[in-house]
Amino acid sequence: MSKYSIWVLEFAHVPDYPLSGLVYGAHNQGTRRLPYCYVLIKGEGHVAMVDVGYNHKAYGAVLATAYGARDWHAPRPVLAECGVTPEDVSTVFLTHSHFDHMGNIEDFPNATFYIQERELSKWVWTLSLERRFRWLMLGIDPADILRTVDLARQGRLVCVNGDRQDLLPGVDLHAAFDTHTYGSMYVRVRNDGTPHSKDNWIFAGDLVYTQENLRGHDANDPEYIPVGFASGSQFNLLMTTGEMVKGVDGDIRRIIPIHDELLKERFPSRITTDGLCLTELALADGEASRVR
Amino acid sequence: MPELDDATVAYILETRPCFEDLRQVASQLAGLLVLEAAGAKSELPRHPMLAAAEELYGGAAGQVRRARVTARTERHHHHLMQATEEIGSALRAARLSVAIDPMLVPLRRAYAQLQGAARELPGFEMVEFQQGCCGARRRDE
């Protein structure tokens, strides 16, 4: 009996992203379709999201022409596939501060946003470094910083320090410091609501990009391989991966990498009229399927 | 984008570093505002990053004013000049108090001007995506 309905919603994609960007060391191994997605969690009187995507108005054209991002759609039509509006969203968990995860915060006027305090403070600290350290600023949009100021002033930005249990009933935040970014976090949903749940889902942000990060290249001899891009340490990424796998009792299918093209093959899904993939992970009692 | 003449290319090469510096200063000031708005008690007027921002700004503002502008690059340069003025206002406000609006309002205008500049000519980007997370530049660009 699930407490929450959970969907992974694609809102754009890159048709040919280098695999080496997703899996550490996978050089000269071609490209893969890279979906951009966010997660919708609905139930128990709450509508929550994990990340909110990027702001097409600000840099959609750059992404489209220079980086091959395609088919961006605003949250309103994307969420409508699940009968939700952006105004319905009351809680957003920001796994980290990159543009494609927190770039669209202004489209959710009623939401309170949760982010690790360390992600913000180190983000600001990075800005104080001299120009030759600018690699550390990759993927960060100055406009997101300005929008974050507004959120904070409205009291809709909550800085979290470390792990938090039951931020919503059965929804936990887990800090993953100095991994993909300074203050990344992942979200765990205990979907039966019990403290020692056997119905766990983990939303990994960019701590993993694809199942290869969780099982390696040889299914018969699994290993953890870090993502291809991190400003923290590979060691921390691997340790966090191990922690996440433990958090789902070894069932790595339940660790959801939102950039994983193959997610749709592991769970019920459909392609919307806009050509976007909608994947259904769980249905709460009384909720109708959105993929059948 | 039409082919660029030599004078335009020279202008781009000359102003790209100051565009990036202005973007950096705007980000630094916005970062200080985040700390302030989030209640971090950053003691904004005395924060060390403010001095770094002022130094960077001084160099960039001088370069923008000295840039060799042609008819083709006039609109771009106008955006840069406006951004320079607005960031200067935000910096002065930051030195005076911890009040957010006197900094935030010109910063927003500066950001819009930098965005305008980025749209005018190639080579000016508001976000460093290259080789970054989910933003590998295409080889044909």
Query: Rounded distance, CA A216 to CA A207, Å?
Result: 15
Our CA-based measurement puts residue A1 at a distance from the nearest CA of chain B, in whole angstroms, of 36
Q: Of A67-71, A140-144, A186-190, A239-243, which range is least confident?
A: A140-144
- Number of domains into which chain A is organized: 1
Query: Rounded distance, CA A39 to CA B66, Å?
Result: 49
Give B108's contacts in chain A (Cβ within 8 Å): 146
Choose, out of B114, B115, B127, B138, the residue to mutate when testing the contact with A (most A CBs < 10 Å).
B127
Q: Which fold has domain B6-120?
A: Four Helix Bundle (Hemerythrin (Met), subunit A) (1.20.120)
- Domain region containing A244: 5-282
Q: The tokens of A87 are what?
A: 């105004």
Query: Rounded distance, CA B90 to CA B88, Å?
Result: 5
Cβ of residue B125 closer than 8 Å to a chain A Cβ: yes
What is the predicted pLDDT for the residue at B140?
Answer: 46
Residue that has been written with the tokens 């959801």 in this structure: A256
pLDDT along chain B (141 residues), means of 10: 85 94 90 80 68 92 95 96 97 87 93 92 75 54 42
> What is the layout of strands, in order, in the sheet containing A31-43?
A157-160, A112-116, A91-93, A46-50, A31-43, A5-18, A277-282, A269-271
Overall residue count recorded for chain B in this entry: 141
What is the predicted pLDDT for the residue at B44?
Answer: 60
- Whole-complex ipTM: 0.71
Mean pLDDT of chain A: 92
Contact A149 B100 (CB under 8 A): yes
Domain ranges of chain B: 6-120
A186: in domain? yes
Q: The tokens of A278 are what?
A: 């909608």
A288: in domain? no
Residue of B34, B129, B136 with shortest CB distance to A17: B136
A291: in domain? no
Q: What φ, ψ does residue A210 adopt, rounded to 5°?
A: -155, 165
Return the percentage of chain A with pLDDT > 70, whole number.
96
What is the predicted pLDDT for the residue at B124?
Answer: 85
What is the predicted pLDDT for the residue at B141?
Answer: 42
DSSP string covering A180-245, please?
SSTEEEEEEEETT--TT-SSEEEE-TTS-SSTHHHH-S-TTS------S--SS-HHHHHHHHHHHH
A154: in domain? yes
SS3 label, residue B74: helix
Choose, out of A38, A57, A146, the residue to mutate when testing the contact with B (most B CBs < 10 Å).
A146
Closest CA to A187 of A108, A101, A90, A94: A94
Our CA-based measurement puts residue B69 at a distance from the nearest CA of chain A, in whole angstroms, of 25
Better pLDDT: A40 or B141: A40
Query: Rounded distance, CA B81 to CA B110, Å?
Result: 10
Its pTM stands at: 0.87
A292: in domain? no
Q: What is the CATH number of the domain that holds A31?
A: 3.60.15.10
What is the predicted pLDDT for the residue at B45?
Answer: 65
Q: What φ, ψ does residue A23 adopt, rounded to 5°?
A: -125, 120
Q: What is the pLDDT of residues A58-79, one digit of tens each?
A: 666 666 666 678 889 999 999 9
Cβ of residue B1 closer than 8 Å to a chain A Cβ: no
Residue of A58, A67, A127 with shortest CB distance to B137: A67
Query: Rounded distance, CA A241 to CA A214, Å?
Result: 7
Contact B127 A99 (CB under 8 A): yes
Contact B128 A138 (CB under 8 A): yes
Q: How far is CA A76 from CA A11, A62, A274, B95, in A?
A: 10, 22, 13, 41
A204: in domain? yes
Determine the average pLDDT of the residues in A77-88: 98
